[in-house]
Chains A and B, each alone.
Chain A
Amino acid sequence: MPRETFQHELDRLVGEIISLGREVEACLGMMVEAMEGHDAGVASRELGIDQRFKERGAEIDEECMILQARQAPVARDLRLIYTIQAVTNHLVRSGTLCEHICRAIAETADCERDPELETALLEMARGARDLFGQGLNVFEDRDIDRARDLEALDDKIDLLYSEAMNLVVNPTNSDGSPEWRMRAALTVHYLERIADHGVDVGGRTVFLVTGERMESAMRQYRERHLDDDED
């Protein structure tokens, strides 16, 4: 019976972080929208999410600690609790970064912008939002096959990152106020971090399912498929 309760608790926590993740994802969606429309109003509505997400993250953390104290989890239960805490951290941090970006949008809404850099920023923002959502899908469905796709997506973000940084340092025009350029550079950095958190959520899922770190699990996975092909 206590073990059944334990299972329910674990299920509930997983549900809780998925809904937390979806909310962060929705905020990232609003962030992209605000960027597209240079909409200070939309961006301002997202201010305060950081505090909210952090509180929920702290609650989840606390519940994990109590479960560990009372249930002494091992094996897959241990991996699940460990993963819940790690994923929560990725989600909360992504929320924090999202709020930073929204603040930058709100505060620079009236600044002059560099259209070329802005295009790169927008593309990165959409990519980061998508990657984050897909990382969450991998976790929700425990679909480690798709965890590999995340890395490919992340390579694209990294490429955009270096392009955008190049435009920050070597502008091709004289557009964009210094204030805006500085915020743009930070935003590029934040977006890259959000994408990384998305990839990490996928990587944590690989660990949860296989008990192996992402890299070696992926290697074993590929080798297994090679073996299958030979049959």
Chain B
Amino acid sequence: MDSEKTRKERTLSEDPERRPEVKRLQSRQPSPPVATGSEAQGITIEGLSAFYGSFKAVTDASMNIQANKVTALIGPSGCGKSTFLRCLNRMHEVIPGARAEGCVRLGDQDIYAKGSDPVKIRQRVGMVFQKPNPFSKSIYENVAWGARINGYRGNMDELVERSLRQAAIWDEVKDRLKESGMGLSGGQQQRLCIARTLAVEPEVILMDEPASALDPVSTQKIEDTMEELKKRYTVVIVTHNMQQAARISDYTGFFYIEHMGDPGRLWEFDATDKIFSNPERKETEDYVTGRFG
């Protein structure tokens, strides 16, 4: 009687249908992030759930985000990609009533541990949003501002130039640094915002659909920066553009809601090559081929 129960419990927890994020094919999945010599850190997420009040938006997501790699998050609208992303730098909890459960480790630091400072975390894990949101200040000040309030004491001109170069916008703005950031085109504004994020010298950069409002050429410029950025940083990007995810990312996580009203789940997580050529799960395949529902 007893032993039978034990067996049943074991089968349930091992049933891959019930635990989609425990993948059957382990081969190309990243192992826990390790320091790679550079300063970038990976992120380990274990059993993360996110709530808005009593509404559970994401349930039990686990994933290893590799340092110095680009990880793309894809999935249908409302499945919790942005929510998940915001949990990675404690931005989620700024919404009244919102909270997260589970474990998120940046390198070996538990960012939700008692006593960990969300402001410090957000400095180490920067964020670029969907709509470019430059301040109504000069281009120079847009970049310098965040670094300054974070107490940067080095050579500010150098930092501004370096950040603008890494964001692949230096050549376009170097002669007009004193002009307002608001006067730039949408694509330039977005790269300015990336530069602003970089100036704080984070280890991880989170991007929520950073190119969704941009034309292909501006999008290409943002994507080009990605190759450069991952040399120094760990990048996590939410995108609805499948080809963009396929082009720029090393790993891809697919979020999915099976039944209306359920919380979003991390349905499949694997090397990008695998997700876009031969995904394990039917729902992933239906989604990436655009034959959803």
Q: Which of A59-88 contact B (CB under 8 A)?
A: 72-79
The CA-CA distance from A79 to B291 in the complex, in Å, is 15
Q: Which residues does chain B contribute within 8 Å of A212, judged by CB atoms?
A: 278
Do A75 and B288 touch (CB < 8 A)?
yes
Q: Which residues does chain B contribute within 8 Å of A75, judged by CB atoms?
A: 275-279, 284-285, 288-289
Which residue on chain A has the smallest CB distance to residue B245? A74
B261 at the interface (CB under 8 A from A): no
CB A76 to nearest CB in B, in angstroms, measures 6
Which residue on chain A has the smallest CB distance to residue B284? A75
Do B277 and A78 touch (CB < 8 A)?
yes
Tell me which of B275, B284, B289 contacts A77 (CB under 8 A). B289
B151 at the interface (CB under 8 A from A): no
Known contacts A3-B290, A211-B278; A76/B285 CB under 8 A: yes
Do B289 and A73 touch (CB < 8 A)?
yes
CB B148 to nearest CB in A, in angstroms, measures 43
B243 at the interface (CB under 8 A from A): yes
Q: Which of B254-293 contact A (CB under 8 A)?
A: 275-279, 284-285, 288-291
Q: Which of A74-127 contact B (CB under 8 A)?
A: 74-79
Q: Which DSSP category, helix, strand, loop or mixed, fits chain A's interface?
A: helix
B173 at the interface (CB under 8 A from A): no
Which residue on chain B has the smallest CB distance to residue A7? B291
B98 at the interface (CB under 8 A from A): no
The CA-CA distance from A7 to B290 in the complex, in Å, is 11
The CA-CA distance from A154 to B144 in the complex, in Å, is 70
The CA-CA distance from A74 to B243 in the complex, in Å, is 9
CB A138 to nearest CB in B, in angstroms, measures 19
Do B243 and A79 touch (CB < 8 A)?
no
B177 at the interface (CB under 8 A from A): no
Known contacts A79-B277, A211-B277, A211-B278; A74/B291 CB under 8 A: no
B248 at the interface (CB under 8 A from A): no
Tell me which of B242, B275, B285 contacts A72 (CB under 8 A). B242
The proximity string for B residues 146-178 relative to A, scoring 1 for CB distances below 8 Å and 0 otherwise, is 000000000000000000000000000000000
Known contacts A72-B242, A72-B243; A78/B291 CB under 8 A: no
The CA-CA distance from A209 to B279 in the complex, in Å, is 12
Which residue on chain A has the smallest CB distance to residue B242? A74
B246 at the interface (CB under 8 A from A): yes
Known contacts A3-B290, A3-B291, A73-B289; A78/B276 CB under 8 A: yes
Q: Which residues does chain A contribute within 8 Å of B246, judged by CB atoms?
A: 74
CB A2 to nearest CB in B, in angstroms, measures 8
Q: Which residues does chain A contribute within 8 Å of B279, judged by CB atoms?
A: 75
Q: Which of A106-163 contact B (CB under 8 A)?
A: none
CB A142 to nearest CB in B, in angstroms, measures 15
Which residue on chain B has the smallest CB distance to residue A212? B278
CB A32 to nearest CB in B, in angstroms, measures 39
Tell me which of B242, B278, B284, B290 contacts A79 (CB under 8 A). B278
CB A180 to nearest CB in B, in angstroms, measures 49
Q: Which residues does chain B contribute within 8 Å of A77, judged by CB atoms?
A: 289
Which residue on chain A has the smallest CB distance to residue B280? A211
Which residue on chain A has the smallest CB distance to residue B278? A211
Please list the residues of chain B having a beta carbon within 8 angstroms of any beta carbon in chain A: 242-243, 246, 275-279, 284-285, 288-291
**What 10 additional pairs, Cβ within 8 angstroms, besides A3-B289, A72-B242?**
A7-B291, A73-B289, A74-B246, A74-B276, A75-B275, A75-B276, A75-B285, A78-B277, A211-B277, A212-B278
Pairs A–B under 8 Å by Cβ, sample size 14 = A3-B289, A72-B243, A73-B289, A74-B276, A75-B275, A75-B285, A76-B285, A76-B289, A78-B276, A78-B277, A79-B277, A79-B278, A211-B278, A212-B278
User: What 8 A-B pairs come out closest when comparing CB atoms?
Assistant: A211-B278, A74-B276, A75-B285, A74-B288, A3-B290, A77-B289, A75-B289, A75-B288
